[in-house]
Chain A
Amino acid sequence: MPNMYAIKDHSLEKHLFINRIVAAFIVISLLTTGLIARLIYLQIVGHEHYSSLAKDNSIKIVPLVPTRGMIYDRHGKVLAENTTSYSLEIIPEQVTNMDDTLQRLQTLLDVSNEEIEQYQKARKRQKRFVSSPLLISMNDDQLAKFAVARPYFPGVDIHRQLVRHYPYGDLAAHVVGYVGRINEAEMKDLPIAEYRGSTHIGKLGIESSYESDLHGKTGYAEIETNVQARLLNTLNEVNPQPGSNLYLSLDIDLQKTAYDALGSFNGAVVAIDIKTGGVLVFVSRPGFDPNPFVVGISNDDYEALQSNENQPLYNRALRGLYPPGSTVKPFVALAGLEYDAITADQKLFCPGYYQLPGVTHKYRDWKKGGHGAVDMNQAITESCDVYFYRLAATLGIDNMVSFMQKFGFGEKTGIDLVGEKTGLLPSREWKREKKNQAWYPGETLITGIGQGYLQVTPIQLAKATAALANQGKVNTPYLVDKIVSSHGTGSGPVSNSYNVPVKTENVNSVIAGMVNVVHSARGTAKVLNRNLNYQIAGKTGTAQVLGIKQNAKYDENSIDFKYRDHALFMSFAPVDDPKIAVVVIAENGGHGGSVAAPIAGQVIKQYLEEHHEN
């Protein structure tokens, strides 16, 4: 390369370069002249045209907001609808004397001081020509009075709008969700054209996860208006397309039964159609009334909901994390059979406790004195802890985890709601990563009876229960069954399903134990078996809220209600042709058998009776 310098002709290069500088300046000048020519065209030739467009007396493009789609349950009962409401709005620019106008409105329509104050605040944030509401929802009396007096109130007008309404209130708030005013953060992510003119957006539940279906397509009209912004003429109109109607798999009557059956307990009930994965019941109690959120809930009310110790805003069915307790035993039993860690007939002796070799710590059974020698059927029926300690020790944590993962533990179920929790299926890797500790053998034992780190959501447990009833076929649970638009009917989310390879005889052995939970005299949920003309398979569970010391005794009556154990029940019916899987979690309910099982029993009864008629 050095010899390259030798043949460089510096003066020639400089000459060439200066030429290029001149050429560049000419090109730049020409292009700038082009810009100026365009500016002259816009600002001199087109000035009048654009000025009139910019002025009030001009053609404006106004968005035509589509009607939001309705939400129905599986029988066509309305869960979310649009009702008409009238607001009183003021355009400050067109009012000559604001104080006087407000005063006269106050006497005429009986407006409260608080409403006036709120309006004054809102007005200051807005531009003078923007209409903002004094009254959000006018009653008939106010409507009639203002209609007569309207000519005396220039700049004040009644606006008609559709307001979202949820007839079932708190019963299905966690499923259906609600719409609320679009906030600034949401505005940034929205397609601006589609939401020009829209004021509300789905914030929670189906309203949120199906926002794009429910919203519809915004249309627009080119209108000519006069100085008072009154419509003179519509020049061109593209109609909006209303949002799609959604039909849920939810059965609102069954939902109500489950909600009422939970009574005063906080908790969740989830029922799934075993064949399809369609969610029939999705209760999280306590609920809350979604309707105030639509018009804008007051700060005090929202604060009250947030600070309520029962946490009504918390979707327990979707996001509640509970130790599953003994409800995992059927899955651990099936894992034991599948991995040949045990046979169904093999008996293990239960003295009332279990000790790991070389360790003094006693892992206790719930029954003092023990169950004696029990086979798998008895172990499930009586919920023998020692049997499952020993089975878990034989299986090992790795096998247990990899088997339960196939049934969806430790993973989101994929239900069509936003905000689902994954739960927690602990493993060696998890503990190493999160706690930087080795996995202890004792932790395998308590995982085997559903305690320790293991955490499930109600929807997860329901999905796994349905899969067990379905001989290992796992369906993704879903809420939206049909999406009906003006173009036709579409289905909801495609329910993914896959098969966990399990032997039918193994599944049937486990189910036989679960049947005895309900139908045998020793079963932990035998309260259910009165007057049944079908069989229910189930498993009770009790989840500890409070850790109990080695030699202490758990006495239900002596401890605070909030530290009482959670009552769980997982079940499906009928056993010969499984249709419905139900999971119940009653927080601080104490016993799965006496509290949770009857709630599931009511849901199953109502569903099967209704199905029988069909």
Chain B
Amino acid sequence: MKTETRHEQFEAPSVLGTFLRRLHIDIPLFIGLVLTSMLSLVILYSAGSQDLDVLIRQIGRVGLAFILMIILAHVDPYQFKRYATILFGIGIILLIAVLIMGQIGKGAQRWLELGFFRFQPSEMIKITTPMMISWYLAEYSMPPKAKQLLVAVILIIIPTLLIAKQPDLGTALLVASSGAGVLFFAGLSWWIMGGIVALLAALTPIIWHFMHGYQRDRVLTFLNPEADPLGRGYHIIQSKIAIGSGGVYGKGWLGSTQSELDFLPESSTDFIFAVFAEEFGLLGCLGLLTLYLLIIARCLYIASQTQDAFSRLLASSLAFTFFVYVFVNIGMVIGVLPVVGVPLPLISYGGTSIVTLLAGFGILMSIHTHKKFR
């Protein structure tokens, strides 16, 4: 470790650079994340009816999330590999606990009350699932064989079903795609992927059968939002009006009329992109998407520089999940995907998602700054 640190000192001429490297921080990624978080505060101020309290609370959460990220960046990636199974197991047990408590109480339950804060096991499982699959597949040669695929699929399905049962379709989707991401980067054959897509298409009627009423409604509303303009279609129609009326240049910061007029519900959480698009226009959207793509590109670069199978699978799948996050949220807000409860990563109001996301980036930084690990 000591020799490595010295080596990096030679590479980094600036004092700040040296300091950040000592902190195990990846500078390009760090800059991207800080920029996005600052942008988040700017939009939140406008979307949250210019309420300073909202802003201060969010700054506190983002600060905590960044601290967690830096702590995780210091952990040797070998520890992630070592504890992958235990962490995954704990996550599953907590998910089951939440389900049982939900049945004792009534209706949907997603969190455990820990006195001073609420803990959502489904958030933890978003990271431990790809960690677990990466750990498992890293033991074998790539691409994975049929038996390993089967085990991996089961490992993905267990947490996905437990979360879908809560019911939290959005998170279930993210967990499933993080696991699927690992399989993809492990070299799953294109044929099998094609086969799975075909199978899913064939299974659609069966999935439909097992969906909750409100989940079906979301899909139906997505297919034809105009059918229920006051109720379930309302979000989509209003968010399309907000985005479309923004035009190329937008109405300017604080210039959103749709969210101001309270036409746009959940304007600071899941639908915040609509406010952003209305105020900053197409150019702003392109800027934000570019920022996201740069973050993803940096993550994929980090993945490509890794020396061992576990690190590369975990790093690449975390990057991939981040993109799925962005794609599902924006796709939903602009009306090309059904409305599932997924926030816009790093931008939406709320603490849980940003903590998980930055924890993921902390792991990526750890992998990158401890490269000699094998």
Contact = CB atoms under 8 A, between A and B. Distances in A.
Interface of A: 1, 4, 7-9, 13, 16-18, 20-21, 24-25, 28-29, 31-32, 34-36, 38-40, 42-44, 46-47, 49-51, 53-55, 61, 63, 127, 129, 191-194, 196, 218, 220, 222
A409 to B, nearest CB: 27
Most buried by B among A8, A20, A222: A20
A9 B282 contact: no
Contacts of A24: 184-185, 300, 316, 319-320
Contact of B232 (A1, A54, A193, A220): A193
B5 interface: no
B330 A7 contact: no
B140 A39 contact: no
A174 B67 CA distance: 55
Contacts of B246: 43
Nearest to B312: A17
Given A13-B309, A17-B312, A44-B282, A61 B229 contact: yes
Given A4-B140, A42-B243, A61-B230, A129 B331 contact: no
Interface in B158-191: 184-185, 187
Given A13-B141, A35-B289, A40-B282, A63 B230 contact: yes
B141 A8 contact: yes
A559 B319 CA distance: 80
A193 B230 contact: yes
19 contacts: A9-B141, A16-B187, A17-B303, A17-B304, A17-B312, A18-B304, A24-B300, A25-B297, A25-B300, A28-B293, A35-B327, A36-B285, A42-B240, A44-B247, A47-B244, A50-B241, A51-B245, A54-B258, A61-B229
B261 A129 contact: yes
A13 B142 contact: yes
B282 A43 contact: yes
Contacts, number: 133
Contacts of A36: 285-286, 289
A37 B331 CA distance: 11
Interface string B250-275: 00000001101110010000000000
Nearest to B263: A54
B230 to A, nearest CB: 5
B139 interface: yes
Nearest to B185: A20
Interface string B231-244: 11010000011111
A194 B228 CA distance: 11
Nearest to A218: B230
B316 A193 contact: no
A29 B141 CA distance: 29
A47 B247 contact: yes
Interface string B129-143: 000000000011111
B367 interface: no
Contacts of A21: 185, 300, 303-304, 316
Interface of B: 139-143, 184-185, 187, 228-232, 234, 240-248, 257-258, 260-262, 265, 277, 281-282, 285-286, 289, 293, 296-297, 300, 303-304, 309, 312, 316, 319-320, 323, 327, 330-331, 334-336
B327 A54 contact: no
A294 B182 CA distance: 59
A25 B297 CA distance: 8
- Interface residue SS majority, chain A: helix
Contacts of B232: 193
A17 B230 CA distance: 49
A36 B283 CA distance: 10
A44 B282 CA distance: 8
A193 B237 CA distance: 14
B292 to A, nearest CB: 8
Contact of A20 (B187, B248, B293): B187
Contact of A43 (B187, B247, B261, B296): B247
Contacts of A218: 230
A285 B257 CA distance: 52
Given A21-B316, A50-B244, 14 more contacts: A9-B141, A17-B185, A17-B312, A24-B300, A28-B293, A28-B320, A36-B285, A39-B277, A43-B285, A47-B244, A129-B261, A193-B230, A196-B230, A218-B230
Contacts of A32: 289, 293, 327
A28 B323 contact: yes
Contact of B241 (A39, A54, A129): A54
Contact of B184 (A1, A4, A20, A42): A20
Contact of A28 (B231, B296, B336): B296
Given A13-B142, A21-B300, A39 B230 contact: no
Given A21-B300, A44-B248, A16 B289 contact: no
